[in-house]
Every structure is written in C-alpha cells, then in structure tokens.
Structure 1
C-alpha cells in the first residue's frame, strides 16, 4: 500500500502540471528488478522512451506523457516516479583580461597570467617537488570542451571523451547541433585545471590523465537535466577517474521541477545529483563541486554541494576575501558549507575564440577546477588516501580551519600543507639528466618528520645484470621541512643508449617508509637510456662549473673523520678533475678524475695530510676554479 500511495501522489501532481510528452522522469526500480524480469522491455511496451539507466540509483529516466506514466506506475518492479529536475551551471562571470598585473615567475615553471591564482593556494611550491598530478585520473563534467587545438590544451593527456547529449565521442561543438557558446564553459574550466603553456597558463594538475563528459546542452536558459549528470559521473567512474571536477549546479525553474532550500531539499539526501555524488565518494572518488554564484544569503548553496563527504568550493579574490557572489551554507541539516575556498575572481584561463587567446573569468565554477587540481596533487603524492582523507587534508590545512563558517568554510586551501598533512611525500615525476653514458636520477623527499638519509635508495633494473640498488645522496636540503628533506640524486651507468631502465625510489622517515611510484616494486618508473627529462628543473641545473668551500673548514681530523667538498657541473656534463695541492704547489691528492654528469656532486677528503694550507682545484675543459682549505692536527 505504501508504494501505491506514493505513486498516486506523484502521478496526481504530474497530472496537475500537465506533463508534456517530452518531459523526462525518473522511474525508480525495486531492488529485485532485473533478476529475471524484463523490466526494460516492459517499460518500452508501456510507451516509455528510456534515456539513462543509472545502476547506482537503480533507476531509469524516461520520456513519457501522463498516460504512459500511469501505465508504468502499476508495473510490479516500479518503486517510485519523480520528475527529472532541470539545472543551471555555476555560471562564470567574465572579468577584464588586464585586470591583474602579471609578474615574472620565480619558479621552475613559468605560469604566465595564471601565476597569482596558483600562488595564492601554493601550487608552485608543490610543482617544485615534481608532484604534478602524475598517476592520477581526473574526470570533468561540463557542457563541452574545445581542447584539441588550443596551445595550452592540445598536449593534455585526454584518454577519452563522451557526449551524453548526442551519444557520440566528440565533446567540442558539432556543426548543426550546438550553439556557438556550447563548449565555452567547459573549455575555460578544463584549461584552469590542466592547461600547460610556459609563460601563459599552467594548471595545478597538468600532468594528470583526463576523461571528459559533456552532460548538458545549452538552451535559452542554459538548462541541464540531472539524468545526464548522473550518467556522466557513472561513466567517469567506470573509466577509472579518482577525482571528479563539476562546475555545475542547481537552479529553481518556473515549472516547479527544481529543488528548494525552503522545502528542506538541500539535506544531503534529496537531490538526485547529491545522491549520485555521495555514491561516487563511497566508490573511492573525490568529488569536487561548485557552491554556486547565488550570493551571500543564508542557504544559497546549490546541489550537489550539499552532499556529505564531497568537497564544495567557494570563491575568493586574490586577497583571500570571499566573493560577494559565492553561495553560502549551511545545508538544511545544518552542516557547514562550503568545505573550502579557492580563487574564483579574475581567474586566468584559455579562450575558445582562437588557439592562442586567453581570458579572465569569475565564479565558483572557476574556483572548482583549481581546488580539484589541488585534490589531484594530494592524491598523486599519496594515492592510497580515501576521499574523506583527501577532503580532510584540504580542509584542516586551510586558513580558516580553526573557525570554519558558512561563508568560507574551512578557508582558502594550501596545497603545500595539504600534501604533507598525512606524511612524507616523494617526487611522483623524478627528473633525468643524461650525459657521457650516465643518467642522473633526481627526486625530492619531503616530510614534517626527520628523513633517514641513509634509507633513501634508488632501485633499478639493468637490462642484462638485473636488479641494482644505489644509495641516493642529499644534494640540496629543503629548509622548510624536517631534517633530511631535500633533493636527492643517484647515477645510473653502464646502460647502452636505447635500452629501457625501470626504477623506483624508496625512502623512510621516523614514521613510515614510502616509494615512488606508490606500489613499487610492482609499479615502476621507466626511461630509455640516452633521454633527459628536465621540465621544471632547468633552474636547478648549474650554469657554470662551480666549486664550494669544503665543510668543515678548518678541517680537524681529530674531531671530524672527513671534510666534504661539493661541486657542480653544467650541462651536458663532462670530464672533471679535482686535485688537492699543498702550499708549494705540489699535487698531493686527486679526488675526482673522470666524467661527471650535470648537477651537484660531492667527494670526501680523509687521510693523513699534515697541518697546513692547501688549495683544491676543479677543472673541466678550459674551465678551472680554486679554493683554499686549512688542515689542523
């Protein structure tokens, strides 16, 4: 009786609204539907045109008039019927292109016009650790994506795309089908998270893999229907996406199909997209969604931002102040929203008008891909984290974490603190420098607990000699983290050019042991002997032959077993000789003789040299540098 009472009420309301044949409705199925019953065939026999089948919600959306709905309602496998709601994007608001002064980048990557937006949330500092989204799959939900030819997007690793409106695999505008502006919104949001063009635009997760889902069709009111959103996120999950960025949201419509705050609909359980977002989280996906641009009134948020355990994003300007348009919480069940904030005012992004043009936009739809990009960095650094752990890393390191509220939530995110929140990290994209038959492998290890330098090791497989293990040397300490954090390097030699080398890096701090990539030795990095990969690391390469002062100096053998001499070799590396001379100019030691690759090196001096002044010289080709040391016995 309860089932039929519910259906009667729903159908009475639908009849009163004069349902049109083109309006879609959700048909919720009983739990045993599909177990031997031909529910699909029986729905079609009743006159329904099935649009979307959601396995997560155990429901289908159908196009049907009131007569068809009445026939469907009495089928034994039908649990409930409700309208498919219509939606609206968290629309971007154009901003003047020249509204922000552009500065030169002080980092290894040149962010161009995007510098201020990524700098506010400390993305460049994470990129400096060579953590850039490697190994992470991100799904995008939007209205279309013109990415194939734009200079900042053509190199993005897009694994697949799907258009749920026209049921094909092209998400950019299609002649005769789409309006000119159809793919504009998705283009700007996608470029914000993933764009890469040195000196113009670099997004937080530029090295991730992406799947693109076109789930809305622009109309006179920019209408979206929620069943396509559900179909899109289920498809992204099936492709293996572990992060989803959705700059879409709720709007109230005159036909009464929208959800309303005053009706208690934003309680984390009512809206269909909210329920789908929660299910995605349960399946291990970090869902990042826009709060909306409905203004500062209480409860102005949009669905699915009301979902629990997902990340709802508000917008701030470059001063960190909440934008006036950014929607506020709380949810109807009084949970704080938004979860976090990111830049959403004057955000720099690609423009669809030409392949080399850019624009600035405002909106929580612009803040969302920046926040999703930071979530991707956190998961790239520590892939084992659950969605709630990723959310906690972002919330508990944000700048309002001590007093969260319904304007900014836990505050403006901090990518650097977020990646270190759960422990030690290692570069997910180590750099390679090749020269003279040797490959130098370099990676950062960072932790807020002391790193055990002797435990940082390079494990690699020689093509003929098998497994090898090489200690990695700390060549550049990281002063903003715990002792032992910094840049480590090791050299792989004896591999003929053209051979593949698989490797992983292992490290330990006082709390844990980790590898890069995560899951090693089953998972490995690899390179082909003879290649170099230096993107983002060029500024670390010495410009000239450099010799540093030995340490300690003076050298007292009675107190110190050795003194260390550090030196740097410029690209592309070369034959190097390091000699020690006494005060009369006589060579007393040769510490280094042979090829050394580009980068930093060190050598220890030990032994029985008598007290006195000594000179040590570093020479390579026509270059020579000299320093003085004092030995006291």
Structure 2
C-alpha cells in the first residue's frame, strides 16, 4: 500500500507488484513498514524511517534481484517461500536439500558481493511436518538452504534480555538444519505480535506474526549497519562481512552453547554490531576484508589480555555448489571452498576450534553442537572464555584446492584488548601522566607541538565515552584532559593527526 501515510512518497514499484492480491498487499505493507515506516503514527517506526522501498512481486525474483543489485541495491528482504502443506508436489526430499533454486541465489550472491539477501525461514513447525521422524527438523527449502543468504527464524518478543533462557522460539518457526548439517537458519528476531502497517486505511496499523515479520527486522539491522559502516569508514561492507558481523555479535539463544538449528547463531543484536565497528575505530577490534590465495595461509600474532572473551569470525560467499534435485536426505556437502579458522595459544600450543553442528538427527540439548573442524559452513566462529592471557595466533587456511584460485573472505576479531596490528606512527613518543589518574590526565609530545592532534577516549568494550576538542593553537606541547567524569577502570586514549594515529591505555582511579 504505497500511499500509506507512513510510506507515502517512498515506495517505488519496480515490476508488476501492483498486481498483488489484497492479501499480498497486506503482507507486503506490514513487512515494508517494519523496514521503513516513518514515525508519523504512534508506536510504529521502521528501522530505516527515511529509506525508499523498491517493491517487487516475488515471481521473477532471481532475475530482478540481479538487475537491481547492478543498479546499486545492497540488501533486500524476502518474506516468502514454499509451504510444507504442498509437499505432495515435491516430495519429502525437497526440504533441506541444496537444489537448483538454492544454487541460483548463491550464483547471484557471488556475482554481487556487496548485496545481502535476507530470507524468512518459513512457518511450517507445530503442525504436520514433512519429516515426522525428525521431531520438527529439516523444514527449510529454496532460499532457506542457500549458503550465502541470511535465513531468519522467529522468536517471541524479549522485554529484557538476560541470557539464552530469556529467548523462546515461535512455535511455527521452521527449523533446520540442512541435509549436510549446515547451521541454518542463520539468525532469529521477533516474529510474534509484531505491530506494523495495515491496509484497512491510509493510517491503519495491525499486529501480525510469522518469520515474514522477523525477516524485515534483520533486514532493517543490515541497513543500519551498512549506514554506520559507510559513515565510519567511507565504504559499504561486503555481504560476507555483514554475515560475519551478524554471527559475531548475536545474542545467545537455545539450550546449547553457541549456534543451533532453531535460532541459528542467536538473536540479532544491532547495538553489538555497532559497538564492534566503534571498537575497530579505536583499534580494539578487527574488521578485515581479505583474499586467501590458493595454497596460502593468513596468520596474525597478538597479545590477549584476558579482560574479555576472545571472539573471531570468518565468513565468505562460497561458490555455488552442485544442485541436488532428486532423492532425499543427501548428506552431500554443498560447500565448495572450505576455509578453516583457528586460534592458537603460542605459550601452550593449545588450539581453539570453531562451532560445528553434530551431524545427527537425534541429538538434543547441549549435544547438538560442539567445537570441531567445521567442513560444511561458510561462517566459522571461535569463542574463547576463561583462557589465560598471553601470546596468541589467529590462522586462516583452507583444505584442498580453492575453486577459482582464491577466495574472498571477511574476518572479525574482538576482545583481545590490544591492537591487532602495529604500524609506524609519528605519535608513538607521546606520554600520558599521571597513570593511574584521578581527575586530570596530561598528554605530552615532548618538544613537538600538539596543534593538529585530536583525541578520543574509549572504554574496553570499544564504546567512545569522550571526545576532546584540542584548542592548542599556540603551539603547546602538552594538553590537560579532564577525566573526572569517568568511572573507575581501564580506558584507551586514541590520538590522531592526519593519517597517523596511536592508542594508549590509562587507568582511571
């Protein structure tokens, strides 16, 4: 309903979307409102309230997605899919199988590496399922099985998140995993009693539920992340970076530690993703977009201070695999380029492994996941808690031969407590005193003037807590900074001058 007061003037019908049925209008309007409704109505505001929506019918989605990605589209929402009630037309093996439709989305994603595709997982749980012997598992199909999309499960709303126990899956939300035991769905968001736009009038609102309602929340977060990343670093993220950030910062959900086949990596956490970007700005986190050449290994050494959990994640747009369009429960890997993420304690030689689903349809509870060599997923995440401080190494390698001779991938790492790379810096001779400090911190460059040096203070979670306007236009070589308003703890002072920058730790008493 493009003339709804909350969307008026911001909807562009790109194809024959105007030919939707009244039910289709209602569904699309509700979904579009979650993404982009303005705040003209009480209690209804989209994630991107000033955005323009490109509206499409889903019947020619792959060709239209390719065309619009070429026009600059960097994310899209797809709240549709195959209903299990139509199983008679396809057979039980259709679910969880990497078929030609899933393959087509992977081809598309690789041809448009900055384009993030968000799919609803489906609403086929809780009734008669196509695979009754699997207890509700193996319900994903089409875009929900592709490797390079984000597939969204639905949860009940959370008033106050207090850990995994505060998250409950919606009874209708379709579960994975895929036939080759990949972690699908990828992520979860609120999909029950979602208030958005209705079609009963130009200012109508209504509640609705479904993974169709959860997916646009994730799409909205993707849009916010891309906006912040562009403002912070001047470029947009690759879609693989978006998926890495999603997994890296997800809030824990489910009975098992780590990811599972109901919630994916957990609950989407918009704030946590933004904080990792800010931590990158403070040199307290890494967000890198890299290329791994065939036969090579990427390694970086760092010092872990054991002040926070250490988390590292890689993701990549994997080349499209071979479509499997007949039979049932193919335990055939869809993964083409198998990258491996490891963290090694150089002091003890202990190696830390990523999360991987246990390849069994009968495991339950905490037994569905472990830390092992993951040879099926194109997202790998290592989480380390309780490890000692010391010298560590992050390693990215690959098995076999890389199709195409190389693989683009994205790497995120946080929690180390130190910069992960050290470059020559004209500010390295700067000193801070007193340290620890009570009220006034002095920074000095010795005989060098501070004219062009600007300062920011970050806490150890990467949050910027103070910006300092430098008024030393009289060639002063030192500056006094009032830190009396900071809470006790450790902080990072970031000094920038042109292209040079340095970071320094200090303790507020």
Higher relative CO (CA 8 A, sep ≥ 6), structure 1 or 2? 2
Structure (1 or 2) with the larger CA radius of gyration: 1
Q: Normalized against structure 1, the TM-score is what?
A: 0.41
Which one has the bigger strand percentage? 1
TM-score scaled by length of structure 2: 0.50
